[in-house]
Amino acid sequence: MASLRKKLPPLTALTAFEAAARLSSFTRAAAELGVTQAAISHQIHVLEQDFGFPLFRRLHRRIELTEKGRLLSAAAGDAFNLIAETVTSLREDGPDDELAISATISFSHFWLLPRIAAFSRACPEVKLRIITQDARTSIEASDVDLAIRYGTGAWSDGQAEFLFEDEVFPICSADYARAAGPIRTPEDLVGHPLISSDADDPTWTGWEEWLAAFSVKPTKKGRGLRCSFYSEAIYAAMNGQGIALGWSRLVADLIQQNRLVRLTEASIRTRAAYFVVVPQRKVQKESVRLFIEWLRTASG
């Protein structure tokens, strides 16, 4: 063991290097490991001093692995993934097979949780853990078994399988619709409080894009509540705060329950779609396969 330790570089520095090499960024590596960028730079420097040669080329606003850095990155990545898979397998060695599912707040609240009991009835031996978060994190660097995401499907941290597209149309509470009077066309929406939500994803459809699809310009002094999350916008609409954009897959149950009503027949298709994403480097559990099969049926 002593001989092996002498052959290995400092493991703290190797961990920092693996993250920086995989993410092509000292900054992103620092965020993933919960340290400062200066700490990552220091650990890389320690590693390069230990080896006696550079592992990165420091270019303008970016870094690039040297040839020897690429060799070390491949070896470190394979070794860390093997350890992670073994640890995961050991932790799962028992009667319960826990399945960790990551989903956005809105998808979890409005689509997944209302339906998840059906999966539990079909597979009662699988213990579920729902990780609800809008911030997208690498599923290969976490204990997530699969993620349900909205986007183009081009993610480097996993293999994406298409689930469904969506359409978007105006919605509000039944009380608001009665008080507002007839709203039959996109032009009729102008002047009403339009509830919006912040989104970092450029493929997410907001009011400006939706109205522009029908050649309608919102008023310069548009009024309406602005929320941090889409789920908040939906709850605001249900409480009569104004009109929000309803994503059909997410609000279908609420419309059926008459907690929301659709305004106008106008709608647009989303530019992206929902996908289920599984890590590429992890050993896929049987529960992952079962859940994906259930997703296909439930979303069909």
Amino acid found at 114: P
Class at the top of the CATH hierarchy for domain 2-90: mainly alpha
Which pLDDT does position 71 carry in this prediction? 92
250: amino acid identity, one letter = L
Q: Is CATH 3.40.50.80 the right assignment for the domain spanning 94-165+273-298?
A: no
**CA 72 to chain CA mean position, Å:** 30
Residue 189 per-residue DSSP state: G
| Secondary structure (3-state) at 289 | helix
Other CB atoms within a 10 A radius of the CB of residue 104 amount to 25
CB contact set of 218 (below 8 Å; sequence gap of 6+): 190, 194, 207, 208, 211
- Which two tokens mark 287? 């529960």
Q: Tens of pLDDT along 148-170?
A: 999 999 888 889 999 999 999 99
> How far is the C-alpha of 140 from the C-alpha of 38, rounded, in Å?
24
**Does pTM surpass 0.75?**
no
Render the burial of 32-53: b for 16+ CB within 10 Å, e for the rest: bbebeeebbbebbebbbeeeee
- At CA 272, angle to CA 144 and CA 136, rounded to 5? 30
Does 94-165+273-298 match 167-269 in CATH topology?
Answer: yes
Q: Count CB-CB contacts under 10 A for residue 186.
A: 19
Token duo for residue 137:
């994190």
CB atoms under 10 Å from CB of 183, counted, come to 17
Determine the length of the chain.
300
Return phi, psi of residue 98, to 5°: -80, 130
CATH architecture of 167-269: 3-Layer(aba) Sandwich (3.40)
Structure tokens at 55: 């592992």
Tens of pLDDT, residue by residue, the chain (300 residues): 456 667 778 888 889 899 999 999 999 998 988 889 899 999 999 899 988 999 999 988 888 999 999 999 998 888 888 887 777 666 654 445 689 999 999 999 999 999 999 999 999 989 999 999 887 778 877 788 999 999 999 888 889 999 999 999 999 999 999 999 899 999 999 889 999 998 777 788 899 999 999 999 877 666 789 998 899 999 999 999 999 999 999 999 999 999 999 999 999 999 899 999 998 877 778 899 999 999 999 987
Neighbours of 198 (CB within 10 A): 14
**What does the domain layout of the chain look like in residue ranges?**
2-90, 94-165+273-298, 167-269
- Can you point out the beta strands (E) in 165-220? 167-172, 196-197
CB count in 10 Å sphere of residue 70: 13
Q: How far apart are CA 130 and CA 113, in angstroms?
A: 9
